[in-house]
Every structure is written in structure tokens, then in C-alpha cells.
Amino acid sequence: MTATPSPQPRVRLVVELVVALAGGSLLFWTSRMDLRWLELHATPAFCFDASTQLSRARLTRALVVAVGATLIVVVRPIAGRWAGRRTPRALLADVARLLVVPIGLALVACEVILRLWPSPPGPHFEPDSERDTRLSWRPVPAHVTDLRVGGRMVRFAVDAEDERVRALEAPVDPTRPTILFTGESVASGFGLPYEETYPAMVAARLGVQAVNVAVQGYANDASYLRLVDALPRFAHVLATVTLVVPSALYRNMAPDRPHLRFSSDGSVQMVARTDHDWSLWSVETLFERTIGLHSAEAALRAHDTMAATARATRARGALPLAIVFGWPTCLPDDGDAPSIDRTLFEGVDLPHTHVDVPKDAWDPVTGHPDVRAQTKIAEAIVQTLRASGVTP
């Protein structure tokens, strides 16, 4: 006859305490997890852009409360009774067999699969690039790239300073009144001829020189570096225009490039790509994309970059301007302004405006804004600069 295991009150007490702490931690976390927290940690663009997102956020909080309460009220006594019938060694063996080993093997398998079959690269409608130790990549200088985009040929002419120009035979003039444009692929004119980009349109409408230092795929800090590298070259800078795409803020934490960290005293530190605080594991990226929770650090770094951009521009006696571009539009907060404004510009002396375009203004071939969207951005910039007194 099989002997009945003797009760293990200490084991039961420890297990019940662990489960109760887990449930209590969830309830405490929920008390801190207000809508602002969820906005920064659970939305792709670090802002709510639809009422359905708000509904999901409230549902998430309710579910976490329910899970925490269930752990304390239901799971705790059941787990305690189950554990109380086992010796400590048997309990550890069961936990390893039922939880640790299966989860560990699943994570290893997922990591292997994700590395063997990575995500396919996106469309390539941008100038040829080369590796750069400071910026990770940059356009090949003094180089022309011709690409077929849909049914037409698009030319990317990049001068010796890595700036997109109308043609290599039409270099920029460092002595002319100039507006500097920085950002990522939307600003660089991904898949578009030079004349259909908003920097070219702004130059034509204001009668000034546009210098486009934007580069596809850049994070905010790399766009800032491109801007401060270019500023000293020009004798008469009227303004700088920085394009910010909320849905691309995650690049500020991307592990495939170095990053800047701004200290409270204004100093800047370059963090190498192998030394920052993001794991290189593919499973972590998959977890964040699946669960939807992520750090708010990328948005905080964007805020610091906006402040640094404003300081560098005003030091040259020029006007800094930021364009917040995206689709769909971020919902307003209690102050009736898009909540992303507080995230990016709170306490920063940086004029900014929003440009939101309908979904049908995105090119289906390139997946980027078409000439209608570029025109809308140009109109917003011209209107804001004129209202601010920026003239040649």
C-alpha cells in the first residue's frame, strides 16, 4: 500500500506567500498603471490614436486587476494545498518539470527559429548607403542612385557632404540664406524625385536654400547629429526643421546602432551599439510586439533630442521647428492638445506643428507619403515659418 505523504505546512506557507505576493504585485502595478502610463508603454506611437486603444487600455487594467485578485483568492489556497502534499525537493522537481524546462525549451526554440528566418527586408527606394561608425550608415557621398519606383525612374543625387541635392551639378551654397531639414525617410523623400519632397517645395515657396540632411531609417539622435554637423557650414541659417514620426520613436532604443544619452547638465554621451540597455535577443522583440508592452525610454530620449536640437539651433540665431507627422492622429489629452506634445516638447522651447494625412495619401508601392502628403507638410512649414517671421 502506498504511504500518504506527510503534510508540509512550511512548504504550503511559502507557496501561498509567493502566489499572494504575485497577485499583490499585479494589484499594486495596476494602481500605478494609469492611462498615461499605458499610453507610453502600451501603444506603438507612444500615444492613443483611436478610441479603441483607450477601450483596450481600460480593459487591460481590468484584466490585470482580475488576475491579481484571482491569484490571491482562488489560486493561492489551491496552490498551497497542492504544495503542502510535497516535500521541498519534490516541489522543486515538479516546478522544473512543469514550468521551467518547457518554458526554457520554448524560448530557445523560438530564438533559433527567429534567427534562421528573420523578417524580410522592406522595399529599397533610397540612395545607396555605406557603413559609418558614428551613425551606422550614411548616403554614399558624391553619388547618384537611379531607381525604378512603380512606373518611373527616380534619381537620388547626394553631394560630397552627404546631402540630397537636385543634381550633382547644383551644389548647395554655404553663403545663401538656408533652412536645414533633418529627419528620416519621410524627410529624405523616400521613393520620390527631389522636386516632390517638402524641403524642395519650401525652398521654392520661400525663395531660400533648402539643405536636406535627412537619412532613411534614422533615429532622432542620428537626425540630430546630422543637423549639428551641418550647422557650422552655413553662414546664414534661418531655421531648422526636424520631422518627428511618433510610430518610429522605437528606433531610439534599436540595438543595431549606437545612441546618444543627454545628461541633465547638457552633456552628451555616445553609447555603443553593444553597450546599451536593450537585449539583442529576437525573443524579446517578439514578446514586446506580441504583448504590446515596452519601455518609455525611447520617448524620453526623443524629448532630450528635441531639447538639444532647440539649443543648437538657437545658438546660431535661427528658429527651430519640429513637424510631428503620422497617421492616424494622436488623440488629445486633458489640455485639448495631442498627448504626444507633452511627451516630446514639455519644457522645451521648440515651436512645433502637426501634419496628419489620410491613409490614401500613402504610396502603395513605397509604403511612404506620396506627393500630396509632402505638399501638405510643405504648406504647414511655410505657414509656420511665415507666422514666426522667418524670411530670406
Peptide bond into 328 cis (omega under 30): yes
Q: What is the pLDDT of residue 275?
A: 43
The three-state secondary structure class of 179 is: strand
What residue numbers bound the domain in which 75 lies? Answer: 9-116
Eight-class DSSP state of 362: B
> Each residue of 231-250: pLDDT tens digit?
999 999 999 999 999 999 99
Q: What is the pLDDT of residue 276?
A: 41
Residue 332 pLDDT grade (very low, low, confident, very high; cuts 50, 70, 90) = confident
The three-state secondary structure class of 119 is: coil
CA atoms within a 13 Å half-sphere pointing along the CA-CB vector of 173: 6
Q: What is the pLDDT of residue 4?
A: 53
- Do 194 and 239 sit in the same domain of this protein? yes
212-223: average pLDDT: 96
- Do 177 and 268 sit in the same domain of this protein? yes
Quote helix, strand, coil % in the chain, to nearest 5. Answer: 50, 15, 35
Domain end, chosen from 81, 116, 151, is at 116
- pLDDT above 70 for 16: yes
- pLDDT above 70 for 115: no
Give phi and psi for 23, each to the nearest 5. -65, -45
- Do 74 and 171 sit in the same domain of this protein? no
Q: What is the pLDDT of residue 277?
A: 44
- pLDDT above 90 for 371: yes
- Do 104 and 150 sit in the same domain of this protein? no
CA-to-CA distance for 160 and 263, rounded, in angstroms?
Answer: 33
Per the listing, cell 512548504 goes with 11
- Do 240 and 137 sit in the same domain of this protein? yes
Residues contacting 354, CB < 8 A, separation 6+: 323, 324, 325, 329, 338
- Do 142 and 105 sit in the same domain of this protein? no
> Each residue of 245-297: pLDDT tens digit?
999 999 998 888 899 988 877 678 888 765 444 445 555 566 565 566 788 99
Per the listing, cell 519534490 goes with 90
- 225: in domain: yes
Per the listing, cell 490614436 goes with 49
Q: What is the mean pLDDT of the chain?
A: 88
Amino acid at residue number 380 = A
- Do 277 and 232 sit in the same domain of this protein? yes
How many other C-beta atoms are found inside a 10 Å radius of the C-beta of residue 340? 28
- Do 112 and 137 sit in the same domain of this protein? no
More confident residue, 12 or 195: 195
User: How many domains is the chain partitioned into structurally?
Assistant: 2
Distances (CA, A) of 52 to 57, 177, 357: 9, 46, 20
- 3: in domain: no
- 98: in domain: yes
CB 158 within 8 A of CB 164: yes
- Do 106 and 166 sit in the same domain of this protein? no
- Do 139 and 79 sit in the same domain of this protein? no
Range name among 63-77, 203-217, 220-234, 251-265 with the lowest pLDDT average? 251-265
Instruction: Give the percent of the chain with pLDDT over 90.
Output: 56
Nearest-5° angle of CA 310, CA 311, CA 314? 80
- 121: in domain: no
Q: What is the pLDDT of residue 49?
A: 82
- Do 191 and 291 sit in the same domain of this protein? yes
CB 227 within 8 A of CB 237: no
Residues contacting 363, CB < 8 A, separation 6+: 150, 191, 369, 370
- Do 140 and 105 sit in the same domain of this protein? no
- 39: in domain: yes
- DSSP-assigned beta bridge partners for residue 181: 212, 241
CA-to-CA distance for 78 and 83, rounded, in angstroms?
Answer: 9
**CATH number of the domain where residue 271 is located:** 3.40.50.1110
- 348: in domain: yes
